[in-house]
Amino acid sequence: MSIFIDRTTQVVIQGITGAEGSFWTRHMKDLGTTVVAGVTPGKEGQSVEGVPVYHTVRRAAADHAIDGAMLFVPPRFTKDAVYEALDAGITKIVTIADGIPLHEAIQIRKAALSCGARVVGGNTSGVISPGLAMMGMFPFWIDRVYKPGRIGVMTRSGSLTNEVTAMIVRGGFGVSTLIGVGGDPVPGTRFAEMLPDFEADSGTDAVVIIGELGGTMEEEVAEAMEAGRFTKPLVAFMGGRTAPTGKRMGHAGAIVSGGKGSVTDKIAAFEKAGALVADRPRLVGDLLQQLLSTGRTTTASK
């Protein structure tokens, strides 16, 4: 099984006629994603990779039962694009844009929550359920790293995600669903908000968190574990261990402030809650083996 997306998810691509939109539409279709429509104002009547293009999301939704929107639009247009998808009743939205203005990111999150929808991103590679579907931008050698299996992954990073997931596969496991929540200070969806989905998914045996310094999303996961709201095994890897205090490292959300958000504090919170924390990415697979050595049912081979 998977969460958020699978082959039944009918996806519209906003910005489909742009270079990124057309390129990744082909890749998503190749990976099994059901892309039913695209949207670029002024381009209705065209097609991209066999996908019909519409002026607006609402016009596309009149012809197709759309439940997912993938946004390939610049940061300055992201809020309007998300609002357009929400207005059409779409509840699963992924936006890759890096640099969405902070006040607009807050507005996007508030609007999505008020509609009972989820926005993943910005500043993310997206979401993938290997072997089923993808909404995002994952590399072409994806089949060597993202194997189908029974380990859920949530991440704030991009390049670290590829490395850690490769170690999951090397450990003999595979991925059920990977959610890239993104590296911005205000992500559309937070780690802890996805935990109930992984908890309920019979196709997920354990979860791997790829975190980093800054913010409190990792501590929120630890709190959910301690409160018994998440009971499955969890392994974490934290980036930014050597970052100087008070420095923003790469991602806009990766800054320690107000005495919270340090890697040391996050590791302590995870360990207190019963999670295992890997010192190096290569150890993630080994820790999963420790947790799931009895009755393991993953599908990927070493």
What residues form DSSP beta bridges with 206?
Answer: 151
Q: Is 251 a catalytic residue?
A: yes
Q: Nearest-CA neighbor of 81 among 188, 194, 155?
A: 188
CATH number of 1-123: 3.40.50.720
Comma-separated ranges of CATH 3.40.50.261 domains in the chain: 139-302
Q: Which of 27, 55, 103, 251 is catalytic?
A: 251
Of the candidates 254, 265, 263, the one whose C-alpha atom is nearest the C-alpha of residue 223 is 265
What residues does CATH 3.40.50.720 cover in the chain? 1-123
Q: What is the pTM of this model?
A: 0.91
CA 30 to chain CA centroid, nearest Å: 19
Q: What is the pLDDT along the chain (302 residues), one digit of tens a residue?
A: 679 999 999 999 999 999 999 999 999 999 999 999 999 999 999 999 999 999 999 999 999 999 999 999 999 999 999 999 999 999 999 999 999 999 999 999 999 999 999 999 999 999 999 999 999 998 867 777 889 999 999 999 887 999 999 999 999 999 999 999 998 999 999 999 999 999 999 999 999 999 998 889 999 999 999 999 999 999 999 987 655 555 555 555 555 555 567 899 999 999 999 999 999 999 999 999 999 985 443 334 33
Please tell me the CATH superfamily of domain 139-302, with its number: Succinyl-CoA synthetase domains (3.40.50.261)
Query: How high is the pLDDT of residue 249?
Result: 53
SS3 sequence of the chain: CCCCCCCCCEEEEECCCCHHHHHHHHHHHHCCCEEEEEECCCCCCCEECCEEEECCHHHHHHHCCCCEEEECCCHHHHHHHHHHHHHCCCCEEEECCCCCCHHHHHHHHHHHHHCCCEEEECCCCEEEECCCEEEECCCCCHHHHCCEEEEEEEECCCHHHHHHHHHHHHCCCCEEEEEECCCCCCCCCCHHHHHHHHHHCCCCCEEEEEEECCCCHHHHHHHHHHCCCCCCCEEEEEECCCCCCCCCCCCCCCCCECCECCHHHHHHHHHHHCCEEECCHHHHHHHHHHHHCCCCCCCCCC
